Amino acid sequence: MATYFHILCTLSLTLLSLTPLSSSSNTIKLSLSPFFTNQPSSSSSASQPLLQALKFAASASLSRAHHLKNRKSSEYVTTPVFAKSYGGYSVDLSFGTPPQTFPFVLDTGSSLVWFPCSSRYLCSNCNFPNIDPSNIHTFIPKNSSTARFVGCTNPKCDWIFGSDPQSRCPGCQPGSPNCALNCPAYIIQYGLGSTAGLLLLDNLDFPGKIVTDFLVGCSILSVRQPSGIAGFGRGKESLPSQMNLKRFSYCLVSHRFDDAPVKSDLILHIGSSGGSKTAGVSYTPFRANPAAANNSAFGEYYYVTLRKILVGGKRVKAPYALLEPGLDGNGGTIVDSGSTFTFMEKPVFEVVAKEFEKQMKNFTRAKDVEDQSGLSPCFDFKGSKTVPLPELTFQFKGGAKMTLPVADYFSLVGRADVACLTIVTDGGSAGPARAGGPSIILGNYQQQNYYVEYDLENQRFGFRPQNCQKSV
């Protein structure tokens, strides 16, 4: 860790003052695409790479869940992210004057926005397919006339390090507005790695809209993190908070395990919609975690109330205590675009999996595929002309029902006649058990081909089925 701070403290950047610009646009539309490596589609000749990819996604989803479930308040910002070479969704954002454009992983489970920064950026363990860790595209602060470091007593430094400047600025006189010290270096821990850097203020540049004085992380050292993160959580430093968005929405194209040229839209709504509802959208209210005041991570997440889980129309008996966050903050359901597969605490997962097994008792379990993929249960359909897969439905507070298409919760794995449930839990081959935190994390795999809306103005989460694919 000393190496982190040595690099951070010795890096010298030439930064100048900010020049404000403005725009009256009330809606911003961005292209959104899957963040995948060049993985082949499912076929007999390509089964092994696909199995490895699925096992990585299962393991990464569990690592992500462990981090989201066990985040603690501290003097450091903590952003939960798994490796972006597989399973995430990216959006291009432009920073600086003139603008420098980069892909960012869309992450509703964290808040800080950060990018690989400076010509000295180092990325350890970043040898992913299609990525050369020695040639990662980075933001160069000296090439932006509007970039500047965040001062130690700047109120935006409080967003990351708390509201006591004296604890982080020991060389500054109390109440001094002209302290020359920078805001301390941040270190972000997440499921499969970490990143470290310094905070900058610069322009966030959209077509027809420029956001001045945007707080962004300039990361110069990362582990398993070759690309930036766009934090869309509920913290003050998140993109929606800094832009004062009234709502944002996206529609995620299907996971294809390849680099297919498809995209969809991320839409940022600046103007108020009042109480109006989007056509065809079912809504459920966001809920507050009662322990958010004691653990800031719980305040960043988008909690919703999951009332029922139905398999083939039959309600499973999930423990009620896990469906609602308790006074200690543990339990409940969050929505997370940064997780690939949905996570369920073991007592919830077991009743769901057992009901699938019960309703599919005429098919044998593909244990070998379960061991290879990290997914379970898997069913062998060899010789069957029809496969009656039970419906999976999530019913939320207010009556909103999400009845998932089969492709959102079963995946053909290894062979065309084996399908696995794409929901993960602790204690399997993908990773050890961790207690606490959210009991259910609704991942992006289960959000495929849904229009998903985060209505911040009216504090509600909305969704409707929709074909998201667009040709590039």
Q: 344, 368, 373: which is closest to 356 by C-alpha? A: 344
Q: Which helix (H) or strand (E) holds 300?
A: helix 296-300
Burial class (CB in 10 A: 0-12, 13-18, 19+), 116: buried
CA distances from 410 to 368, 391, 405, 450 (A): 17, 10, 9, 16
* Sign of the Cα pseudo-torsion (147, 149, 151, 155, in order): positive
Residues with Cβ within 8 Å of 354's Cβ and at least 6 positions away in sequence, in order, are: none
Catalytic residue status for 258: no
CA distances from 161 to 68, 185, 217, 221 (A): 19, 10, 13, 19
> Quick one: tokens of 60?
């990464």
> Which residues are paired to 392 by β-bridges?
311, 404
Query: Does 170 sit behind a cis peptide bond, omega within 30 degrees of 0 on the bond before it?
Result: no
- The residue from 205, 336, 408, 426 that is catalytic is 336
As a whole number of angstroms, the distance between CA 309 and CA 329 comes to 22
**Contact indicator for 165, 172 with CB cutoff of 8 Å:** yes
- The residue from 107, 202, 205, 455 that is catalytic is 107
Strand-pair category, 401-404 with 314-315: unpaired
Catalytic residue status for 336: yes
Using the CB atoms, write b or e for 130-151: b if 16+ within 10 Å: ebeeeebebbebeebebbbbbb
As a whole number of angstroms, the distance between CA 86 and CA 63 comes to 14
As a whole number of angstroms, the distance between CA 5 and CA 11 comes to 10
Task: Output the DSSP codes for 66-98.
Answer: HHHHT----SS-------TTSSEEEEEEEETTT
As a whole number of angstroms, the distance between CA 468 and CA 264 comes to 6
> Quick one: tokens of 222?
């990362």
**Contact indicator for 398, 283 with CB cutoff of 8 Å:** yes
> Which residues are paired to 365 by β-bridges?
379
Residues identified as active-site = 107, 336
